[in-house]
Amino acid sequence: MSELLQAQTTPTVAASLAAPAMKEFSEASHLDEVLGRLEATKDPRLKKVMSALTRHLFAFIEEIQPNEKEWMQGIQFLTETGKMCDDVRQEFILLSDVLGVSMLVDGINHRREANSTESSVVGPFYRAGAPHYPMGSSIANDTPGEPVHVSGRVKTTEGKPIAGALLDAWHTAPNGLYEVQDPDQPEYNLRGVFTTDLDGAYDFRTVKPVSYSIPDDGPVGKLLRAVGRHPWRPAHIHFIVSAPGYQPVVTQIFTDDDKYLTSDAVFGVKSSLAVPYNKVGPAWTCEYDFTLKPAKS
């Protein structure tokens, strides 16, 4: 009887305890296997991101066919990039910038509408909390350089002035360094926030910006040299312009005769953001109007 019972039950028990069939590795089937393990991902956006990343990474590997030494070099490059990041310097942002990815992400998220001001990358050296200055003040402190008067208006896409708009501005010193990079510059040097008047006007004084090299003493600099590219950015002033009821714009205005205008290391230049500097007496003048889009409902 016991032998009969065992004969009747053993196959069923054995089937329930059997391990799933082993899938042999193959290049052709491996992508499907990896994607299949993402099926349990509960967050749909995360699932979409990870699935796309996996597909494109596999396609990259199939196209490049790296040997093991090359793959390890890539891992070491990313490791060194991480080691260069701290509270002041973000090497991964720099890498995103020089690969053109930062501008692509910016373009996707800030497509131009009507005649609104075009955006550009914020860059790795923005610092919140800059002093709020009265109209016409200088943000240059005692920084030596050619004096420049920057002015213009903030307006709607219909051309109406926007009073009370905030302009957060910053740029490098004539030595090509931002204040956070240079211990010899005073705190918040060449940074300031201004509020437009009833006519939407703003104006402030500073020193003329210069073209400068992005930090190239790390892995990103080595990459640029390896592919025959320079690390220079054309002269520019950064701005974040905002006002209640309008979409803020993060942008830069570039000196229109800078020799690096067409080869910016981070691809940040757009023709609408290139502006002339005119000499008036001992100082330069730069005029630029910002146009803000209405806030999305």
Residue type, 52: A
At residue 229, does pLDDT exceed 50?
Answer: yes
At residue 254, does pLDDT exceed 50?
Answer: yes
pLDDT at 212: 96
pLDDT at 16: 54
pLDDT at 18: 63
Average pLDDT (260-277) is 97
Indicate the pTM of the whole model.
Answer: 0.85
pLDDT tens per residue, range 194-219: 999 999 999 999 999 999 999 999 99
Task: Tell me: do 56 and 129 sit in the same domain.
Answer: no
Task: Summarize the chain as % helix, strand, coil (round to 5).
Answer: 30, 20, 45
Task: Tell me: do 191 and 107 sit in the same domain.
Answer: yes
- The secondary structure of residue 180, as a DSSP letter, is G
Count how many domains the chain has. 2
What is the domain extent for residue 109? 92-292
Average pLDDT (2-8) is 43
Coil, helix or strand for 273?
helix
Task: Tell me: do 264 and 170 sit in the same domain.
Answer: yes
Task: Tell me: do 179 and 55 sit in the same domain.
Answer: no
Task: Tell me: do 59 and 96 sit in the same domain.
Answer: no
Task: Tell me: do 281 and 135 sit in the same domain.
Answer: yes
Residue 215 counted as domain residue? yes
Task: Tell me: do 37 and 167 sit in the same domain.
Answer: no
pLDDT tens per residue, range 74-106: 999 999 999 999 888 899 999 999 999 999 999
Q: How far apart are CA 159 and CA 232, in angstroms?
A: 35
At residue 145, does pLDDT exceed 90?
Answer: yes
Cα-Cα-Cα-Cα dihedral of 20, 21, 25, 28, to 10°? -100
Residue 250 counted as domain residue? yes
Residue 101 counted as domain residue? yes
pLDDT tens per residue, range 24-77: 888 889 999 999 999 999 999 999 999 999 999 999 999 999 999 999 999 999
Task: Tell me: do 34 and 157 sit in the same domain.
Answer: no
Rg (CA), the chain: 28
What CATH number is given to the structural domain containing 205? 2.60.130.10
Q: How far apart are CA 185 and CA 142, in angstroms?
A: 9
Write down which residue in 65, 84, 114 finishes a domain.
65
Residue 173 counted as domain residue? yes
| Residue 61 CB neighbour total at 10 angstroms | 13
Please provide the average confidence, as pLDDT, over all residues in the chain: 92
